[in-house]
Amino acid sequence: MVMSRRQREIVRGAVPMLVVLAVLAGIAIFAPLIAPYNPSAQPDIVGLKNLPPSLAHPFGTDPYSRDVLSRVMYGAQVSLSVALLATIVTVFLGTVYGSIAGYAGGIVDTCMMRLVDAMMAVPRVLLVIIVVALWHTLPLWLLIVVIGVTGWFSLSRVVRGQVLAFRRRDFVVAAEALGARRTRILFRHILPNVVPMIIVDATLGIGQVIVLEAGLSYLGLGVQPPGASWGNIIQDGADQIGTLWWVSLFPGLLIATTAVACNVLGDALRDYFDPREVA
Amino acid sequence: MADLTPLLRVADLRTYFYDGDAVARAVDGVSFEIRRGETVGIVGESGSGKSVTALSLLRLIRPPGQIEPGSRIEFEGQDLLSLDADAIRAIRGQRIAMIFQEPMSALNPVLTVGDQVAEVVRVHTKLSRKEAWERAVEMLALTGIPAARERATQYPHQLSGGMRQRVMIAMALVMHPALVIADEPTTALDVTIQAQILELLHDLQEKLGMSILLITHDLGVVAEMAERVIVMYGGEVVEEASVGELFADARHPYTQGLMRAMPQLGAPHERLLTIPGVVPAPTAWPSGCRFRDRCEYAWDRCAQEHPPLYQIGTAHVSRCHLEDEPARRLTRTTPLAARTGQGTA
């Protein structure tokens, strides 16, 4: 693939974000190997609790004497995989729904999109909380499903718009003129062209999901203790934030870092694929 | 080389587009025939209905457009308008294929060109992926693409405009269709490449024996390729004749205007003549003759009476009242469109 100078510049700008995300993913994957302590162990709930950052505990310890660094590393596992898997659910649902609406057109399209409009009018957090509140203790997979299922509305609109636009393109008419059937046209001619937009939207979506999951876990509605996710680690230090700042600060920084990296990367991808600039 | 059974017979084809109360009568009662092995040109300006005619033949008109009841399209003895979706799909690409104007936009940017040709084979046959690929490579080679096997693995943006048009032709011809509709096949190309592509089409026609329906606004292309010419204006056929007869004895004032607007090689330097005005909107064709506002012969009869196709020779027709009142050829006036300054087309 030949890149324009503009595209090379975008790639240069995006590489640091990729590195950041790769490091975070590496930490998550290798947490069992590199974490200095067991994240759930409470070695000395009296003597080792609430220790400020030190060489032995770079991120300090929490009120239960657990090592915050180890918890943050294991928390990355949960937070990132929830974000990734929920985004996969989102991409799947949004792509299927959007393609059907965009390709069917007419009254089907109108009805499907009004439904999406209605769902988008309700804040996502509210939707998630309604569903989550129905369970006593929420299994992790269900959290993933719930976050995924409430997140595909905007993606479906993007996909629908793209499918609609590509449906009118010459090469789609040409494929039809040469006898291809509708499913083939959709899967072979239209969707591969929409993939870039889906990637962009998914990347931006991961950032949102990280924050959403953290928020839910902070509220006690997401990942259930003693499991560590960035959100509930913040919660561990939240009621003593004035004195125990380190418990909340480090996971908070990581949430912000991940979300920013995803958003910057998503923006870069969008610029990269922008056809108005590619020419 | 043309035998006499018509391959395609179009009768009273009307394709209308509906927008609220407005009806755009883009194709409005077109009839013509194409024989086996014959090349027929359809000539006309943008908006004359020639491309909609082509799309109608393959039933590729999408809502809000529709082919009106009463229209007839007969191909190889089948009534195309009564076929179900599967049957018409089997015709598309296999018996009737289409070459599009702009090869860059008519090729899918994310598929290799070999894949795109092979796909046509896979759509219409049960051949394996590999066999279809072999057919595609063969066809690409037949269209004169050098090193076809390597080229087949490339993407459209890696090929030149002429190569891309060859790929489009390979896609259209890989199933050896009986009829190829070529919609402005050379308009997007350089002049030298244009000539090559036309020659290629001609060669392939001799090898494969298909009929060609050539849609163009370029009378030069028609002169080179076609045996018969249909001139369209305002969604209607206004003149039809063999190429030789049309160039020797164009009857309809619109056809004459098109001829005068064609640059002549070797002619003394003169400003090219244009036809004043533009094609009227298909939602509001003028009463009577649709060309009258732009016509230098128009008189009151032209506004009142829609001219029929007057028979001139055995295979020459013209939709102009001048055939009925030839003396009128002596009285020319400034066309209404020129007087009201509607610009030139």
> Each residue of B184-208: pLDDT tens digit?
888 777 888 888 888 888 888 988 8
- Going by pLDDT thresholds of 50, 70 and 90, the confidence category of residue A161 is very high
Closest CB to A177: pick one of B92, B102, B124: B92
Closest CA to A163 of A152, A176, A150, A172: A172
pLDDT score of B345 more than 50: no
Domain ranges of chain A: 5-36+65-278
Are the Cβ atoms of A179 and B172 closer than 8 angstroms? Answer: no
Res. A135 pLDDT band, cuts 50 70 90:
confident
CA distances from A177 to B102, B106, B186, B238 (A): 15, 11, 19, 27
B108, B111, B122, best to mutate vs chain A, most A CBs in 10 Å: B108
Instruction: Point out the residue among B91, B108, B172 whose CB comes nearest to the CB of A171.
Output: B108
Residue of B nearest to A177 (CA): B92
The answer to whether B307 touches B289, Cβ cutoff 8 Å, is yes
**Across the interface, do B109 and A193 touch by the CB < 8 Å criterion?**
yes
Cβ of B89 within 8 Å of Cβ of A181? The answer is yes
Option in A170, A177, A179 nearest B105 (CB): A170
- Token couple for A263: 């958003």
Q: Are A70 and A64 in contact (CB under 8 A)?
A: no
Q: Which residues are B98's β-sheet partners?
A: B181
What ipTM was assigned to the predicted interfaces of this complex?
0.80
Query: Which of A176, A177, A192 is opposite residue B110, by nearest beta carbon?
Result: A192
Q: What is the pTM of this model?
A: 0.78
Q: A236-270 pLDDT, tens per residue?
A: 888 888 888 888 888 899 999 999 999 999 888 88
Q: What is the DSSP string of A11-67?
A: HHHHHHHHHHHHHHHHHHHTHHHH-SS-TT--S-TTTSTTPPS-SSSTT-B-TT--B
Question: Which of A189, A241, A185 lies closest to A63 in space, CA to CA?
Answer: A241
Strand bridging mode B22-35 / B211-216: unpaired
Q: Which of A178, A184, A185, A193 is the best substitution to test chain B (most B C-beta atoms within 10 A)?
A: A178
C-alpha separations of A89 from A231, B135, B294 in Å: 21, 40, 61
Beta bridge partners, B91, equal: none
Hey, is the C-beta of B52 within 8 angstroms of any chain A C-beta? no
Structure tokens at B44: 């006309």
Considering only the top CATH level, what class is A5-36+65-278?
mainly alpha
The 10s digit of each residue's pLDDT in A52-101 is 888 888 888 888 888 889 999 998 998 999 999 999 999 999 999 999 99
Contact A247, A68 (CB under 8 A): yes
Chain A residues near any Cβ of chain B (below 8 Å): 106, 169-171, 173-181, 184, 188-189, 192-193
